[in-house]
Structure formats: C-alpha cells, structure tokens
C-alpha cells in the first residue's frame, strides 16, 4: 500500500450513502491549563479524544493483503511516550483504503512540539515512516492569588 496522507482531527464521519469522508476540528495545537508545574511530574494524560485519519492506495488489487501500521507519539524532548499498532485486512479488488484510529488521552511531559509518527510495517523487522504529524502543546499555568489580610 502507498500512503497518500494522514492528519489528526477531533472527529470524522463517513456518509453511508456517498462514502464521503468529512473531517472535523483538525488538530495542529493543543492548549492546556494547569494549576502548577507539579502536574507534569506524574505522567500527565490530558483527557482529550482525537483521531488519526489516513488514506492509502495501491496499483493492483489482485490479492487480499494486510496493512500493518505502527504509530508513535514523540514528545518535545524526542522521547517516544506512546505507541500503538494496527492491522487492517484489505480485500481483493480494493484500490483505495481509509482508516481511522481513535486515540483516547494525550500523554504530555511538557510544552513544545510533539510528533505523531506513522510507520508502515514492511516485514517482521523492517518498517518505513510514512507520515510525521506535528502537534504543538502549549501550557498555561493558573496564577495563584495571594489572600488579602
């Protein structure tokens, strides 16, 4: 399979009559409000739901194949903080394929540019990166009020 495109969005929908894909609230940036910097010390996961939507194609569809993909979430310090694997059977006769991967929660280690890297598994020990999607994480902290005497 050839990877055509991928993106992050909050939701997507496929119309059952026309098979048209609609994407809603595409993600490029996440803004987070925290009480203090201590929250980042305990493997903070932001309760946000989003989707990785990808489109693939192939030249010949004579056989059924499996599309195996691996996703990695990379933090601003270039550390892998989450991974996921998917396997999709692609039936004979199918030339185009879209997949939606639901992602529940965003682990964060601090502010900065994160990447969601998507790999296609070529063989047992070989994979090829097909997409690298940036996601900017911005953090603002609540200012503590000093009580009046």
Q: What is the pLDDT of residues 68-122, one digit of tens each?
A: 999 999 999 999 999 999 999 999 999 999 999 999 999 999 999 999 999 999 9
Rounded distance between C-alpha atoms, residue 116 and residue 74, angstroms:
6
Tokens coding 43: 């493997």
Cα–Cα dist 17/100, whole Å: 19
CATH architecture of the domain with residue range 2-140? Sandwich (2.60)
Q: With bands split at pLDDT 50, 70 and 90, how would you rate the model's confidence at 145? A: low
- Beta carbons of 8 and 27 less than 8 angstroms apart: yes
d(CA 64, CA 94): 9
pTM given for the model: 0.86
pLDDT digit string, tens, across residues 2-34: 999 999 999 999 999 998 999 999 999 999 988
């Amino acid at each position: 399979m050839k990877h055509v495109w991928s993106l992050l969005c909050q939701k997507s929908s496929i119309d059952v009559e026309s098979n048209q894909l609609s994407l809603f609230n595409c993600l490029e940036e996440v803004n987070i409000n925290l009480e203090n910097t201590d929250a980042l010390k305990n493997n903070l996961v932001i309760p946000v739901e989003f989707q990785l939507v990808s489109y693939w194609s192939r030249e010949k569809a004579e056989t059924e194949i499996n599309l195996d993909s691996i996703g990695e979430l990379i933090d601003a310090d270039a550390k892998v903080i989450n991974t996921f694997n998917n396997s999709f059977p692609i039936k004979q006769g199918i030339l185009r394929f879209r997949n939606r991967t639901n992602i529940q929660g965003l682990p964060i280690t601090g502010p900065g540019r994160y990447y969601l890297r998507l790999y296609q598994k070529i063989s047992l020990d070989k994979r090829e990166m097909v997409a690298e999607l940036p996601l900017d994480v911005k953090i603002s902290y609540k200012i503590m009020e000093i009580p009046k005497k």
